[in-house]
Structure 1
């Protein structure tokens, strides 16, 4: 399939060669035709390549947008959040979901309070709800996820199976199946993601958070780090208690 993109930042034939070389190295690309005068790149590929992947390959010197949706397809969040919304407003969906999850976990055990059981239910519901949003766009999620998750970037298939991993972990916590294993896996996968989130925040990159898939366009902020940290602290605390 062929798609035409607008590439800005090119000033000479050397730029044309650089853009052509970088795009040609991407998985699935068959051929690339770059036109300096029109600032266009015609990419022939075996499958649809998300613009985020193309932009990651060309950053920071060049900017690429799909020609037909150049004004509608946000690549990085500085393009999509131009209305100066506060972080709280942007992250309102995330805060609401976490509020409902915490409330549900508490209400399930308020008659016979057991913090361990409440934590297990919270973690289980957390995974189920967050995996649900990822499944809404299973094709688009891996491309967004690999923008900051180190393992997904190194092993593309990991991004494809990640929503399934979350679903399985959610069921394990809710059904109380092999809790120690579920806790260890949680620490590993969220630990890796947290490393990527931390790097993104330190580099001050404004990219989209894929924690709720691509259905909700959330910015990568400190809240994303806190969200992962909550789960890591819970998993670590419970694992230590089990081992001791």
Structure 2
């Protein structure tokens, strides 16, 4: 029988080789076929192996969940409970972080509300928080980022310095330094990333979103596109309203 699983955390050929190596050591496994782009692995087995056994055989950076179980007879068995998690449940950390950033923005501007200042503060806090998670694993982030960002694919060094760029932009926004330049840079870098995200969504690739680094394993979904779009829209509105007209 052949079992098909989803795997998150793979970012390169080395990850693919690692998954194949560790799974192949288990008894009753006859074949291991990893698809890096789709984040899938097909495992041929003599006898059924519980999903938790497969998980324990892999390094902790990889998250394995059962997608479909297909026997040679063609029968399809039910997916695991973990795989049945809704997108909302999977993206709970992202929504919580967005919510906390929004609450901090409201608290900072509560006594003297100004929409332009509030948007600048929101964007600054966004860059601060999101860059923080990337700094926990700079190497892992750059590898994950290169899976979908067009510029990071061509220039690996870009992925390595990207968290520093985000941190710098956050500081400038909160300190109100070179705002027009920061807004233009925001539109450019997030515009490039959004193109990569859109391509990944359209191709239905199962890859890990690098927006919060590798600490929180988030799947690439429409929420990633919306997150970038919000920042681009804010930057465009501020640029047109305050620094062009």
| TM-score with structure 1 setting the length | 0.72
Measure the CA separation in 1 of the matches of 2:209 and 2:40.
23
Runs of at least 5 residues in structure 2 that lack an aligned partner in the other structure: 1-13, 22-29, 44-55, 68-79
CA distance in 1, matches of 2:208, 2:81: 11
- Specify whether residues 117 and 90 from structure 1 end up closer, same or farther in structure 2 by C-alpha distance, changes over 3 A only: same
Q: CA deviation at 1:83?
A: 3.2
Deviation at 1:95, TM superposition (A): 0.3
Give the superposition deviation at 1:81: 8.8
TM-superposed CA distance for 1:84, in Å, is: 1.2
Q: Give the Cα–Cα distance (whole angstroms) in 2 for the partners of residues 84 and 176 of structure 1.
A: 45
Once the 2 structures are TM-superposed, how far is the Cα of residue 188 of structure 1 from its aligned partner? 0.4
For 1:231, the equivalent position in structure 2 comes to: 231
Mapping of residues 67-216 of structure 1, within 5 Å: 69-70=57-58, 73-74=61-62, 82-216=82-216
1:39, CA displacement in angstroms?
6.5
Partner-residue secondary structure (3-state), 1:108: helix
Residue 74 of structure 1: CA displacement?
3.2
Preserved CA contact (<8 Å) 1:148 1:200:
yes
Change beyond 3 A, Cα 1:6–1:209: closer
Residues 77 and 219 of structure 1 are in contact (CA less than 8 Å); yes or no, is this contact kept in structure 2? no
Counterpart contact for 2:208–2:217, Cα < 8 Å: yes
1:243 aligns with 2:244: yes
Q: Which residue of 1 aligns with 2:221?
A: 221
> Within 1, Cα distance between the matches of 2:187 and 2:127?
13
Q: Which structure ranks higher in relative contact order (CA pairs < 8 Å, sequence separation ≥ 6)?
A: 2
C-alpha RMSD over aligned residues:
3.4
Which residue is equivalent to 2:36?
55
Contact 1:183 1:235 in 2 (8 A): yes
Counterparts in 2 of 1:178 and 1:75: CA distance versus 1, 3 Å: same
1:55 Cα deviation (Å)? Answer: 3.0
How far apart are residue 94 of structure 1 and its match?
0.4
Structure 1, unaligned stretches of length 5 or more? 9-37, 41-50
Give TM-score, length-normalised by structure 2: 0.72
